[in-house]
């Protein structure tokens, strides 16, 4: 089989999960291709299966993933697809898989699997727990996540169909859950970029601007400024070598753990030059 794998990631979790699946598929003799979502994707060479992996943002999928799934062509035949969501808490994937399912059905996709994998939390500007983990905690969570990804890949190869659709987070009231989802989707992601700030420790190195997956940071007078295409992926804040990025209104990041998947260096050369770990 030819399996095309597509991801969006801020800090490498979703890529790690998909790469883990990829290794299992390849070890069983399947051909794979893995790449970041790209609005020029046209799927002219139709794969046997397309697999997507996205993080969950406030119980939904990132705005850019929603736009991407809306932008792809409607397949002329039933296109097999699977979706994996990475979440800071496997119980808190909310509507994310339902959103993907709805959008993919409109594109004539047949969903053959949908699952959630818990990976370390990367939302460093979140004022509420769970907070970004320590290195040791992160390593343990990644290990578990990789095991889950291997299981999902094995299930896919063996034709086992499991559909995780919705999970309602137990520690939230129903009102708070719906409000957080709607607020982030319709207001938060359109507004939070305005709250981007840097502490005095920022030295204007420009790394944040170079690694931002949506090209949302511009450097003006040696200081970064954020623009409206920001998806809140937290890559910049977690990679900044000076720990300088924060947000107004409770998005303080001083003293918090920085997290990215240990093998993920979005622009390796720049990170190496700046000795980012």
Ligand X SMILES: Cc1cc2nc3c(=O)[nH]c(=O)nc-3n(C[C@H](O)[C@H](O)[C@H](O)COP(=O)(O)O)c2cc1C
Q: Which residues of this chain interact with ligand X, rule CB under 6 A?
A: 9-14, 55-59, 86-89, 92, 94, 119-123, 232-234
Q: According to CB under 6 A, which one of 137, 204, 252, 270 is a site residue for ligand SF4?
A: 204
Residue 104 partner contact from ligand SF4, ligand X, none using kind-dependent CB cut-offs of 5 to 8 Å: none
Q: Which of 114, 154, 277, 254 is nearest to 198 (CA)?
A: 254
As measured in angstroms, the least distance from the Cβ of 12 to ligand X is: 5
188/49 Cα distance (integer angstroms): 34
| Coil, helix or strand at residue 161 | coil
Binding segment (CB under 6 A) for ligand SF4, from list 11-19, 91-99, 109-117, 241-249: 241-249
What beta strand segments (E) does the chain contain? 2-7, 31-36, 49-55, 79-87, 109-118, 196-198, 217-220, 223-226, 245-247
ω into 130 cis (within 30 of 0): yes
Single out the residue of 214, 229, 220 nearest to residue 202, CA to CA. 220
Q: Binding to ligand SF4 by residue 276, rule CB under 6 A?
A: no
Binding flag, residue 195, ligand SF4 (CB under 6 A):
no
> Per rule CB under 6 A, is residue 10 in the interface with ligand SF4?
yes
List the x/- string, 155-194, binding to ligand SF4 by CB under 6 A. Answer: ----------------------------------------
Residue nearer to ligand X on the CB measure, 10 or 224: 10
For residue 230, the partner it binds in ligand X, ligand SF4, none, with Cβ less than 5 to 8 A by kind, is: ligand SF4
Tell me how far apart the terminal alpha carbons of the chain are, to the nearest angstrom: 37
| Angle at the Cα of 237 from the Cα atoms of 69 and 220, rounded to 5 degrees | 95
3-state secondary structure of 277: coil
Rule CB under 6 A: which residues touch ligand SF4? Answer: 10, 198, 202-208, 212-214, 216-217, 224, 226, 230-236, 240, 242, 244-245
């Amino acid at each position: 089989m030819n399996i095309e794998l597509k991801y969006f990631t801020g800090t490498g979790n979703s890529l790690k999960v998909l790469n883990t699946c990829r290794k299992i598929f390849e070890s069983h003799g399947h051909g794979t291709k893995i790449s970041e979502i790209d609005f020029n994707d046209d799927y002219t060479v139709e794969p046997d299966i397309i697999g997507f992996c996205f993080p969950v943002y406030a119980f939904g999928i990132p705005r850019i993933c929603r736009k991407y799934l809306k932008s792809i062509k409607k397949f002329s035949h039933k296109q097999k697809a699977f979706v994996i969501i990475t979440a800071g808490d496997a119980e808190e994937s909310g509507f994310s898989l339902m959103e993907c399912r709805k959008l993919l059905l409109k594109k004539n996709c047949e969903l053959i699997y949908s699952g959630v994998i818990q990976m370390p939390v990367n939302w460093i500007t979140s004022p509420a727990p769970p907070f970004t983990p320590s290195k040791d905690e992160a390593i343990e969570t990644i290990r578990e996540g990789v095991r889950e990804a291997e299981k999902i890949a094995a299930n896919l190869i063996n034709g086992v169909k499991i559909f995780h659709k919705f999970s309602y987070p137990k520690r939230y009231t129903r009102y708070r859950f719906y409000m957080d989802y709607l607020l982030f989707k319709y207001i938060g992601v359109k507004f939070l970029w305005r709250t981007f700030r840097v502490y005095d420790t920022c030295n204007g190195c420009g790394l944040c601007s170079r690694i931002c997956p949506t090209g949302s940071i511009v450097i003006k007078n040696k200081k970064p400024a954020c623009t409206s295409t920001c998806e809140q992926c937290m890559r910049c804040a977690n990679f900044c070598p000076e720990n300088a990025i924060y947000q107004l209104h409770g998005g303080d990041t001083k003293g918090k753990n920085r997290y990215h998947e240990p093998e993920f260096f979005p622009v390796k050369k720049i990170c190496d030059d700046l000795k980012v770990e």
